[in-house]
Amino acid sequence: MAAPSRPDGEGRRLPRDRRIAHDADIRDILRRGKRSGTAHLDVFDSPSPVPHPRVGVIVPKHRHSIVERNLVKRRIREVLRQEVMPRLTECGVNASVLVRAKREAYGAAYGDLRDELVTWTDRQCSRARSS
């Protein structure tokens, strides 16, 4: 049986070309990117080598189970897909964004992670408009 189609036609996955997945890219962004900290996350950004924004997620184990780790990872990816990527594209910010969860992210609600990433994105967009 085929999966039901979404009424809005929007896919549920982040397109492959919008993901940062190669170790070399991740290391480069961690080394050269600008780091911004929030209560639960470290956000690294650097200019994207492709003509659109890209995102990646790092969730260290911090002595938590794989189930807990995957939950944090899914929450962050969903915020990146639904909120961050469209906002960055809309305001013309062409960056590679890497989000690393801090130990505190394991206890954070989805709304807290969302608010932190949306606030970070809005700051990036306002900087892009003022330059």
Say if pTM beats, i.e. exceeds, 0.85: yes
- The confidence score (pLDDT) of residue 65 equals 96
Beta strand spans in the chain (E): 34-37, 41-47, 54-58, 95-101
Which residue did the predictor score with more confidence, 49 or 44?
44
- For the chain, which residues make up each domain, given as ranges? 18-125
- Give the whole-angstrom CA distance, residue 108 versus residue 110: 7
Tell me the fold of 18-125. Answer: Ribosomal Protein S5; domain 2 (3.30.230)
- Give the whole-angstrom CA distance, residue 13 versus residue 81: 8
Could you give phi then psi for residue 108, rounded to 5 degrees?
Answer: -85, 145
Mean residue pLDDT of the chain comes to 90
